[in-house]
Structure 1
Amino acid sequence: MTTPGVSLVSSGVNPNNSENFSSGVILFVYIITFLIGIPANILAFYTFCCKVCHKPAPIDILLLNLTLSDILFLAFLPFKMKEAMDNQLWNLPLPLCPITEFMFFTTIYTSILFLTGISVERYLSVGHPTVYRKPGRTIYAMVTSVAFWILSVSHCSVVFVMHYSNTSNTANTSQARTKCYEDFSHKQLSVLLPVRLEMFLVLFCFPFIICCFCYISLIHILSMRPKISRRRRLHAIGLALGTLLVFTLCFGPYNVSHIYGFWWKISPPWRVKATLLSTFNACLDPIIFFLSSSDVRSKLMHCLESFRAGLHRHDLDNKPEGS
């Protein structure tokens, strides 16, 4: 019998396509993402918290929420590391399975939505500066942030619906080796696949179109203004291309799997690979922070200078007397 969202795996069954994908590679990506993402996002979070507390601006509120999304993602990443270490088998307490998957997918879509909000802010700051400077826009940014979280959480709550549906058919898995949120019954797929298709359209496709429009328009506007310095123009182009690159490489394949699954009425086994690309987002977002905020750049330079000064003092303290 099959637990909803969790399939029992016997030692005599040949591994499926997702199991053939090297767990070592998955673990390596998780570790690299964690080691790079944690310090970078903590630095960004501290910077934006200071800005929002002293002089909040709409762009800072959006960047703060994007950072918070990445930190939540990284906080649950060790559970995914453990899963990869166990060859994609879920040997942790079973209730952690839906919670981990819920946070994993929710933060993917909150990142998409906040990246879209940032693109709109950047476009308005250059294309419509009068609208951008109107008072009260900070409140709009706060309301928008709450709406983004609610939109993502409400869609990704389907994870809990799938996991706890058909509980009367749930097998006793206390001693069983399991897989987390991968195999589904036909009844479950009839609910899950349309929701995934809607997530592709509402939470990926529409935001991607908005991002493309905002950044292409931004580049066009800057190119038509010769008084703008070449450095600022290249800075804006780098921000635009970086964001669109994150959308395409990190979020594109995973969301395309929703269309594939809806068309073929299955949950694609290669979703593991596609989702793995989304993991890199937590490493790439700090680059967007660096390009978007001069405060993050100054904080980073200050940290580097402090680290360099600390090393210099350490060398002086260990230097032999009289040398």
Structure 2
Amino acid sequence: MGYLRSPLSTKLIPSIYILVFVVGVPANIVTLWKLSSRTKSICLVIFHTNLAIADLLFCVTLPFKIAYHLNGNNWIFGEVMCRITTLIFYGNMYCSILILTCMGINRYLATVHPFTYRKLPKRNFALLMCGLVWVTVFLYMLPFAILRQEYHLVQPEITTCHDVHNTCESPSPFQFYYFTSLAFFGFLIPFVVIVYCYTTLIRKLNAQDRRWMRYIKAILLILVIFTICFAPTNIILLIHHANYYYNNRNSDCIVKFLTILTIGQTTFK
């Protein structure tokens, strides 16, 4: 429980959230304003617009997280708001992953299969892909809106939001399998798809003309940022829930801290 009172939780994390909020809100508003006036590259406009909307939704919930951490990890906004902020936090991450994957698929088709791509109704194709992403993420995030996220701790005298598990009862298999499937379908499969799309792009562009090297470097940068932003959170989520499920089935009535890495995701996005 020392983490709940540590400077990492009460000072560093809210400082990062404040920075993300101050930079992210105006940056995404400006991005949406600029995208609204663009008429070329309509597919990219649609994808970037949806990315900006997802990030903006995440940013507007940060004041609640900031107040929570600065208040010693004491949640004062109620169970409903706790569920909403948790849903939006995870929803933003997986929405971003899937939209970036859709962008990779779009670039792959445009470069590797240009004749097929020309036949596609590009605007409707991009809208359909983004629509499927939002519906998929919304359905997958429903457990965060249904399950209890707020827990009161007697020592210390605080109410946490998505930071602890109540282990008075045996761990639910649902949470373990849910987070496992979330990491698998929400990160691993999209990661494999995006790596395949961009490595195929690199091979094709490099074979065609060495002058594409700048574009190849940009692709490699996308892959690196994608990995840094999303891999740590999903790996630690998977390890945590596996450890919690297999090692705490017969534990005493305690409250267990949920260790989830969030700094990497919010810092690099």
| TM-score normalised over the length of structure 1 | 0.71
2:227 partner letter? T
CA spacing shift, 1:138–1:192, aligned 2, 3 Å: same
Question: What residue in structure 2 maps to residue 223 of structure 1?
Answer: 206
Question: Aligned match of 2:53 in 47, 64, 68?
Answer: 68
Shift of 1:132: 2.1
Question: What residue in structure 2 maps to residue 12 of structure 1?
Answer: none
RMSD: 2.5
Question: What residue in structure 1 maps to residue 253 of structure 2?
Answer: none
Question: Aligned match of 2:122 in 137, 147, 155?
Answer: 137
Q: How many residues align?
A: 253
Question: What residue in structure 1 maps to residue 177 of structure 2?
Answer: 194
1:34 aligns with 2:21: yes
Question: What residue in structure 1 maps to residue 221 of structure 2?
Answer: 242
Q: How do 1:262-273 and structure 2 match up within 5 A? A: 262-266=241-245, 269-271=258-260
2:24 partner letter? G
- Please give the secondary structure, in 2, of the residue aligned with 1:163: coil
- Cα distance in 1 for partners of 2:119, 2:45 equals 16
Larger radius of gyration: 1
Equivalent pair of 2:73/2:158 in contact (CA under 8 Å): no
1:47 partner letter? K
Shift of 1:281: 4.3
- Please give the secondary structure, in 2, of the residue aligned with 1:43: helix
- Cα distance in 2 for partners of 1:198, 1:94 equals 25
Equivalent pair of 1:106/1:153 in contact (CA under 8 Å): yes
Q: Which ranges of structure 2 fall in alignment gaps of 5 or more residues?
A: 246-255
- Cα distance in 2 for partners of 1:22, 1:183 equals 14
Shift of 1:110: 0.2
Question: What residue in structure 2 maps to residue 205 of structure 1?
Answer: 188
Shift of 1:59: 2.4
- Cα distance in 1 for partners of 2:257, 2:122 equals 42
Q: How do 1:10-29 and structure 2 match up within 5 A? A: 15-17=1-3, 19-20=5-6, 21-29=8-16
Shift of 1:18: 5.1
1:44 aligns with 2:31: yes
Question: What residue in structure 2 maps to residue 179 of structure 1?
Answer: 160
CA spacing shift, 1:201–1:268, aligned 2, 3 Å: farther
1:209 partner letter? V
- Cα distance in 2 for partners of 1:42, 1:119 equals 24
Shift of 1:242: 2.6
- Cα distance in 1 for partners of 2:241, 2:11 equals 30
- Please give the secondary structure, in 2, of the residue aligned with 1:265: helix
CA spacing shift, 1:258–1:64, aligned 2, 3 Å: same
Report % sequence identity: 25
Equivalent pair of 1:27/1:84 in contact (CA under 8 Å): yes
Shift of 1:42: 1.8
CA spacing shift, 1:248–1:19, aligned 2, 3 Å: farther
- Cα distance in 2 for partners of 1:213, 1:19 equals 43
Shift of 1:245: 2.1
Shift of 1:24: 0.8
2:92 partner letter? T
2:213 partner letter? R
CA spacing shift, 1:18–1:222, aligned 2, 3 Å: farther
